[in-house]
Amino acid sequence: MEVKHNESFGSGFLWGAATSSFQVEGAQKEDGKGLSVIDVMKKNPNITDFSVASDHYHRMEEDVALMAELGLKVYRFSIAWTRIFPEGNGEVNQKGVDFYNRLIDELIKQGIEPLVTIYHFDYPQGLVEQYGGWMSRESVDDYKNYAEFLFKTYGDRVKYWLTVNEQDHVVRIPSRLGLTGDDRYEQMRLGYQANHHMCVATAKTIELYHSMGLSGKIGPAVSYSMVHPATSAPEDVLASKDAMLIKHNYLLDLHCYGVYSKPFQKYLEDRQFTPKMEDGDLELMKQNPPTMIGVNYYFSETVQAFPVSEKYPLGYQKEALLAEAESGVFEVVKNEKLQATDWGWEIDPVGLRLTLRELHERYQLPIIITENGMGAYDKLEDDGSVKDDYRIAYLKEHIKQVKLALNDGVDVFGYCAWTFMDVVSGRNGMDKRYGFVYVNRENFDLKDMRRIKKNSFYWYQEVIQSNGEKL
């Protein structure tokens, strides 16, 4: 639909950037921090671990000063659960508490709104060893107690809270649940049980948030993107609809409405993945929906039908991680209309507008984009610059689509680019860089860890200063 576009970003629009604790902080075993599932998972020998990361733990004041220079209105970061409770429950680690107090105070001093992710992949290994982690119902109260401590400690200064980051990725990546072994079927069954417990924990935490009289917004950060049909064939259109359900919408249907939709129930039943639940769980979710949705958007996907056959029985997955193809549902295929990043992620700015509209129409909640960015092999030039014009082009086109979504009537109140500074990528180490600030280290050579402003830093600075008018 072509219409006149005259919407602009409001005066209170939150321009920001994001990181996560395990990818940026380092200090993995310092000052009383306990081990998380990320710390103990099997490492890819070709990339670095997270023990030093970007050394933000020791350079926090320097980094926040750069955020202020960039002009950020909001900074999305996560709190490392095991810095607060080294074993996930029990004794509090005061040095961890103090670090986040200093960070939050420094942000506020610089006029930057803190946007806190309560849990971003780095689940306490101690809870996995105590009772199996998210697969156990005991996990619900430990998460709620952890969140309550954060609300009491930082809630006087933090107005925006994200409950769980990319819950569906946690469910589908066994190491993030602390699972080992090769039985993919059993891992998926346990994953959906863990998913249910995370939904119950989120609802109880939102209920607690309101009971404490905290004013602000709270909700999950979901990985969400449009799934296009490969052709106009009805089977492909159905495959795209089914893929949207089992990759994205099932999760927000639970968080926002307390519903396992009929098609999703059938999907679980057919595969014997239906989780155990207690009376009142769904009503609890229904009565305590989020008050905002955080959206992580990088790319869209295109799918075709993938019929069940003798070779590919029901539920067969060609890829173990994140279901790139599942017989009886869909198969991801290349979209010839789109270019891709060095890592094969198809660049689809219009897909972001479609995503925002889909979320608005289904859930009618305020939205903040919590991640959007382009990973690339950035190069530090001899003159000390980083010429990442490809990143500028990517972000520019996506921000244009956010503006168009506002014109469509979508309630988007903020945009956080991923990332503020280079962080250790979960699967690609320091090779895959996203930041506005270059961190001078390689996978196995820490160098001097200098912070170097990329071309995109200066570009985004102008975008923020002009409130999105200079793109």
Residue 1 Cα distances to 5, 354, 404, angstroms: 11, 12, 11
pLDDT tier for residue 322 given thresholds of 50, 70 and 90: low
pLDDT, mean over the chain = 95
471 burial type by CB count under 10 A (0-12 exposed, 13-18 middle, 19+ buried) = middle
> What's the average model confidence in pLDDT over 68-90?
98
Compute the Cα dihedral for 190, 192, 194, 196 and give only its sign: negative
* DSSP alpha helix (H) spans, 411-470: 455-465
Task: Show which residues are catalytic.
Answer: 166, 371
Q: What is the mean pLDDT of residues 18-24?
A: 97
Average pLDDT over residues 379-399: 97
Q: How confident is the model at residue 95 (pLDDT cuts 50, 70, 90)?
A: very high
Asked if omega into 355 is within 30° of 0 (cis), the reply is: no
- 241-258 tens-digit pLDDT: 999 999 999 999 999 999
Q: How confident is the model at residue 116 (pLDDT cuts 50, 70, 90)?
A: very high
Amino acid at 214: L
H or E element at residue 100: helix 94-109
Q: Which residue has the higher pLDDT, 46 or 22?
A: 22
Share of residues in the chain with pLDDT > 70 (%) = 97
Taking only the tens place, the pLDDT of each residue in 247-297 is 999 999 999 999 999 999 999 999 999 999 999 999 999 999 999 999 999
Is 70 exceeded by the pLDDT of residue 2? no
Q: What is the mean pLDDT of residues 113-121?
A: 98
Cross-strand bridge partners of residue 116: 77, 161
Question: What is the domain partition of the chain in residue ranges?
Answer: 14-301+338-465
Average pLDDT of the residues in 226-235? 97
Please tell us whether the domain made up of 14-301+338-465 is placed in CATH 3.20.20.80. Answer: yes
Where residue 419 falls among pLDDT bands split at 50, 70, 90? very high
Six token digits for residue 208: 């607690």
